[in-house]
Amino acid sequence: MAVKYETELYPPLKAFFEARGYTVKSEVRHCDLLGYREGEDRPLIVEMKKTFTLELLLQGTDRQRLGGSVYLAVQRNRTKKGAHNQRFSEIAQICMRLGLGLIVVTFYQTKAPFVEVLCEASTEEAAPRKSGIRAKRLRDEFDARSGDHNIGGSTQRKIVTAYREQALKVARQLWMFGEASPVQLKEASGVGKAALIVRDNHYGWFERVVRGRYRLTEAGLAALNEYATVVSAWSEN
């Protein structure tokens, strides 16, 4: 069964790597899937496409600069249409030479998708030297997110970043207060950058009433409704 959207690959891949002991989140600094094991700094990175392309291969080699285990994941189409379905063994050989892992996901009509690793990603010693700054930013963004609020492979959806989560926390608190100062918002929301968030007003969610006092805009209220599942998840954690 052929998948229609790239995002359909994400749930089985997420479940597969969670079973391997990873905590997984999607769409972190342009990585489709990012995971870490407890006590390990080395990231797991998976880039997904419905079919194998040169663009996917280039994405994979670029992600290797982060120093992690990088996998490329595509669908295995059981109808075997398309040249890439006939040559997975050759594609796997290319990936192995580059230190990339290759995963294929087979979908069925009546049973769960099957995830198969055709070749494993290279070890840390064999991988290209990582960029320390990029790797740190990747981990910081991963840790700052409260959960996995996105779907890997999304291209037209707004990504719930750590900054957007912080802005939502401030917006929720401001909605509860009606009006508040940045200091009140910082203390009540637990967001250290609350003052910068309301002053920069990157999303148009806040407006100043008088000097040092802010309130929520209609756009801010709409955002709380749009991201209601994210907001409700905070009380569940």
Specify whether 50 is located in the same domain as 140. Answer: yes
Mapped onto helix, strand or coil, the DSSP state of residue 86 is helix
Task: Report yes or no on 55 lying in a domain.
Answer: yes
Task: Report yes or no on 188 lying in a domain.
Answer: yes
Q: Would the pLDDT of 167 be above 70?
A: yes
Which of 23-32, 33-42, 130-139, 215-224 is the least confident region? 130-139
Q: Would the pLDDT of 110 be above 90?
A: no
Mean pLDDT along residues 121-135: 68
pTM (predicted TM-score): 0.84
Residues 15-56 have pLDDT tens digits of 999 999 999 999 999 999 999 999 888 999 999 999 999 999
Tally of domains in the chain: 2
Residue finishing a domain among 93, 118, 144: 144
Chain-centre distance for alpha carbon 235: 21
Can you say whether the dihedral through the CA atoms of 73, 75, 76, 81 is positive or negative?
A: negative
Asked whether the beta carbons of 51 and 84 are under 8 A apart, the reply is: yes
Residue finishing a domain among 144, 176, 200: 144
Specify whether 129 is located in the same domain as 198. Answer: no
Outline where the chain has alpha helix (H): 10-19, 54-63, 83-86, 88-98, 132-144, 162-177, 182-189, 194-200, 218-226, 228-236
pLDDT of residue 1: 65
Task: Report yes or no on 108 lying in a domain.
Answer: yes
pLDDT of residue 97: 94
Specify whether 79 is located in the same domain as 115. Answer: yes
Task: Report yes or no on 208 lying in a domain.
Answer: yes
Mean pLDDT along residues 210-231: 93
Most confident of 76-90, 110-124, 126-140, 207-221: 207-221
115 vs 144: CA distance, rounded Å: 29
Specify whether 11 is located in the same domain as 116. Answer: yes
Residues 46-100 have pLDDT tens digits of 999 999 999 999 999 999 999 889 999 999 886 665 545 568 999 999 999 999 9
Specify whether 118 is located in the same domain as 200. Answer: no
The domain that holds 63 is classified in CATH as 3.40.50.10670
Q: Would the pLDDT of 209 be above 80?
A: yes
Mapped onto helix, strand or coil, the DSSP state of residue 191 is coil
Q: Would the pLDDT of 125 be above 50?
A: no
pLDDT of residue 85: 58
The domain that holds 198 is classified in CATH as 1.10.10.10
Which of 111-125, 145-159, 177-191, 218-232 is the least confident region? 145-159
Specify whether 15 is located in the same domain as 113. Answer: yes
Question: 162-177 vs 132-144: helix axis angle to the nearest 10?
Answer: 30
Specify whether 93 is located in the same domain as 198. Answer: no
Task: Report yes or no on 155 lying in a domain.
Answer: no
Residues 149-166 have pLDDT tens digits of 988 876 667 889 999 999
Where in the sequence is the domain holding 15, given as residue range(s)? 6-144
Mean pLDDT along residues 160-182: 95
